[in-house]
Structure 1
Amino acid sequence: MNENKMNRGLKNRHLQLISLGGVIGSGYFLGTGYVLEKAGPASILAYLLGGVIVLCVMLCLAELAVEKPVSGSFVMYAKENISSTWACGVGWAYWITWVAYVPSEMIAAGIIMSNFVPAVSQLWWAVLFGLLVTVINLFHVDKFGESEFWLALFKIVALVAFSVVAGLICLGLIGDQGYIGTRVLLG
């Protein structure tokens, strides 16, 4: 039997940072503030519950991947373990998710960037980031991995820096309002 071998051009560090940085989207930078403003600190419990659910799903998917490593991802697992009809639905649902998610990320990036550079329209920022994502996805796999590695590292450092600055503001070490504590969250 003729077995095709995959060319593995991504290094371990690429995979690790892509997986870490891949979960950090504009929702952390744009949506979390909105949710905290509207729902308060209880929304942290909702984030934790959602995180536990995602962790359980990913652990199940990891078990499947270790038991039966196949090309085709979870669509193949649905086909083999449930039915072809179910696999078709899973595949289409996944495609629709990405078709909706990517433009929303571009729009969110445009909103964030228009706060920093208000002279440029949100639309043009969204188009620029959409083109940037497209160009990066057209790179050869090793260049793609390297660019995603550095972009993910940037996102992780930014998230940590924003968290540290937020903590320092709450403690009154940054700004002229003094100790803020949790009164902003509670009131």
Structure 2
Amino acid sequence: MHPQLPVRIDAPTERRNPRTREIDDVPTLEVLRLLNAEDRIPAEAVAAVLPDMARLVDETARRIQAGGRLHYFGAGTSGRLAVMDAAELIPTYSLPPGVVVAHHAGGLRALVEPVEGVEDQESVGAADAAEVGPGDVAVGIAASGRTPYVGGALRAARAAGAFTALVSANPGAELADQVDVHLGVDTGPEAIAGSTRLKAAT
């Protein structure tokens, strides 16, 4: 059993969205219009971090060409997206299996059902990062930018000499100063507070 962590509302995705305050009280078509309007925000938010993204892409390409690997670390929605991306890179770009590795807090079981508490354990992230080497790239994915599992993994990867990056939906992410590159994509408050499978996941 893990102690309940205090609820913190300093991540942008956790704030109330003034544009969708009435989402519970409007007809279905208006709900869909509100969600669709919010869906337009991520593309512009990504545009703002393209220079840092180019740095991460170039460094990743250089290290993979030299025999390194790309490791993703995430929990919940972030981890599931990492697994999906790693799997899709193989058929899309004829990338050999094992070049891109997705580490999801809680393992395979957590892909289809919640595994409580594992995302709050830095030690689990550090253990999952044990295979990261100095020629690798480690990318942590965390909407809040503070997930302990991701933090533990990134610290271990950095200590091993890997190039590290954080992808978050929080420009002021706590973990930002512990990585080489932070892609803090400012998608703002979710249409439904905290539902990061919506804009942040996009």
TM-score (ref. length: structure 1): 0.28
- Give the number of the structure whose residues are more often helix, by fraction: 1
- Give the number of the structure whose residues are more often strand, by fraction: 2
Higher Rg of the two aligned structures: 1
TM-score (ref. length: structure 2): 0.26
